[in-house]
Chains A and B, each alone.
Chain A
Amino acid sequence: MASPRLLRFDRVERAAHWTTALLFGILMATALPLYFVQVESIVGRRALIAEIHTWSGVALPLPLIISLAGPWGLRLRRDLRRFNLWTPAEIRWLRSLGRKRNPEPDKFNPGQKLNALFIAGAIVVMLGTGSILKWYRLFPLGWRTGATFVHDVLAAAVFIIVFGHIAFALAHRDALRSMFRGWVTEAWAKRHASAWLKEEQEASSEAEAASVR
C-alpha cells in the first residue's frame, strides 16, 4: 500500500483557514479601488465597496475566534501554540537565512511560523487602524493621519505576504492538498516534518498501549 496517511489539518482548521482566506480575498479586492483612484474611476460605487470592505474587516477575526472558542478547536489551539515555540535549530536556520538546515523540522518551519505571526498581527493592526479610518469622529484628528499611513503601508505588506503564501502553496502541492483534504503521507512527513512525525507516532503508540490496557 502507498505510504500511510497522517492527519495534518482537521475540519475545523481547514474551515477556519478557508473562511479567513475568503474574507482576505474580499478585503484585498475591495482595497484596490479604495487605494487607486484610477481603479476607482472605472469601478465606481465607492461607498458600496467601502461598506463591503469595512464589514469584511470586522468579520475577519470571527472564523478564528469561533474555531478557537470551543472543544472543537483543540487541534487548532495546539497548532497555534507551535507558532510561538522556536527551537535553537530553527533560530539558527532563521539567522543563516535558510542555509543551515534544521535536521529535525517541526510541523511548521520558521518561515511558516513567521507568516502566521505576521498575519495574526496584521489582522489586529488593520482592524484597529481601519476602525479609526471608519469611525474617525471618535478619535483625535492626528490619529486619523497616522492610522491612514499605517493602514496603507501594512496593506502593501499584506499583499506581498499573501501572494508569497499562495506562491509557496502552489509550489508545494502535497502541503496544499492537506489544506483541502486534511492529510499528508507519512513519507512526506518523514522528509519535511520529521520531528512532528515522531511526535505523532509516539502519541499513537501511547494511545494503542492505553487502549490495550
Chain B
Amino acid sequence: MIAAGAAGIVFGARVQKVVGSAFGSGLGGLLPGGDRFRIYTVTSSFPEISNSGYRLRVTGLVDRPLNLTLDDLKSMPKTKLVKDFQCVTGWRVPQVHWEGVRLSEVLASAGLKSSAAALTFGSYDGLDTESLTLDQAQRPDVIVAYRMLDAPITTDHGGPVRLYVAPMYGYKSLKWLSSIQVVENAAPGYWEQNGYSTDAWVGASNQRDDKPIS
C-alpha cells in the first residue's frame, strides 16, 4: 500500500494527465484525477468586494493614474477568450470562457512612460501579488477579466475582477485584482517567492511539460 502511494507520488503527475483527459471535465471531472477547478487561496478567507465598491488602481510610471470602477472596465472594448486553464499542480480545465478588457487597453488609457518595463499586481486579499514584463502584459491573451464561464466571476474564482494570463499557469492569473503598478523592475510575486517560475509559460516552466495553451 505504502509502496503504491510512494510510486503514485513520483509518477502521479504523468498518470494525472492521462486520467484527466480520459475523465474530461463534465461529470468525469468530479472523479479523482478529473479535470475540474480546485480553489486555492493564500489567505484564510475570500475578500468580499461589491460590484459598486470595486476599484482598480493603476499607478506608477504612467501619464494618468487611474481609479477604474467595474463600469469603467465594462465600457472599454470587450475581449472574449476561450482557453484551457492549467494549474501548476496538474489539473487542467478545458475551454473556459473568459470575458474582459485587454490589459494593453487599460495601460493605453493610463499612458505608459518611456521607462516603463514591467508591472506589479496586487490583490484585495492583501497578500497575493504577481508580476509581468511589459511585453508579456501587452499580449492579446492577457486580460482584466470580469466574466468567466458565461457569468460574472464569482467570489471563489476571484471576482468581481481578476487578472487572466492565458498562456501561463493559473497562479499568474491573480484573483481579486486591486492594483496595477507600472515599474522598471517588478519584484517577484507571492508564488515566485515560493519557488515557482516567474515566466510561467504552460509547458515551458516549473519543470513541467504540459501542452501549451493555444
A interface, CB within 8 angstroms of B: 36-37, 40-41, 44-48, 117-118, 120-122, 124-125, 128-129, 132, 137, 141-150, 152-156
Mask: chain B, 8-42; 1 = CB below 8 Å from A; 0 = not: 11111101100100000000001111001111010
Closest to B157 in A: A37
By a CB distance below 8 angstroms, the chain A residues around B206 are: 141
Verify B32–A141 contact, CB threshold 8 A: no
A129-B30 contact, Cβ under 8 Å, with A46-B39, A145-B90, A150-B12 = no
A141-B88 contact, Cβ under 8 Å, with A37-B38, A122-B1, A156-B31 = yes
Q: Which of B1, B11, B46 contacts A146 (CB 8 A)?
A: B11
CB distance from B196 to the nearest CB of A (A): 7
Verify B5–A154 contact, CB threshold 8 A: yes
A148-B89 contact, Cβ under 8 Å, with A46-B39, A125-B1 = yes
With contacts A117-B1, A145-B89, A149-B90 known, what are 13 further pairs, Cβ within 8 A?
A: A40-B156, A122-B1, A125-B1, A137-B195, A142-B207, A146-B15, A147-B9, A147-B12, A148-B12, A149-B19, A149-B33, A153-B32, A156-B32
Verify B10–A146 contact, CB threshold 8 A: yes
Verify B9–A146 contact, CB threshold 8 A: yes
Verify A153–B33 contact, CB threshold 8 A: yes
Pairs A–B under 8 Å by Cβ, sample size 7: A37-B37, A45-B45, A121-B2, A128-B9, A142-B207, A145-B12, A152-B33
Closest to A38 in B: B30
Verify A150–B38 contact, CB threshold 8 A: no
Verify B44–A150 contact, CB threshold 8 A: no
Q: Does B154 contact A (CB under 8 A)?
A: yes
Within 8 A of A (CB), among B100-156: 154, 156
By a CB distance below 8 angstroms, the chain B residues around A132 are: 9
CB distance from B91 to the nearest CB of A (A): 8
A152-B32 contact, Cβ under 8 Å, with A146-B9, A147-B12 = yes
CA distance A132 to B38 in the complex (A): 17
Most buried by B among A128, A137, A141, A143: A141
By a CB distance below 8 angstroms, the chain B residues around A152 are: 32-33
Q: Does B75 contact A (CB under 8 A)?
A: no
CA distance A40 to B41 in the complex (A): 13
CA distance A128 to B194 in the complex (A): 21
Within 8 A of A (CB), among B154-210: 154, 156, 194-196, 206-208
Verify B16–A47 contact, CB threshold 8 A: no
By a CB distance below 8 angstroms, the chain B residues around A141 are: 88, 195-196, 206-208
Q: Does B214 contact A (CB under 8 A)?
A: no
Q: Does B52 contact A (CB under 8 A)?
A: no
CB distance from B17 to the nearest CB of A (A): 9
By a CB distance below 8 angstroms, the chain B residues around A142 are: 10, 13, 207
CB distance from B170 to the nearest CB of A (A): 13
CB distance from A20 to the nearest CB of B (A): 17
Verify A149–B8 contact, CB threshold 8 A: yes
CA distance A47 to B47 in the complex (A): 13
Verify B1–A149 contact, CB threshold 8 A: no
Q: Which of A48, A145, A149 contacts B32 (CB 8 A)?
A: A149
Verify A40–B39 contact, CB threshold 8 A: yes
Which 7 A-B pairs rank lowest in CB-CB distance, beginning with the nearest? A121-B1, A146-B12, A125-B5, A47-B44, A150-B8, A152-B32, A149-B12
CA distance A113 to B44 in the complex (A): 41
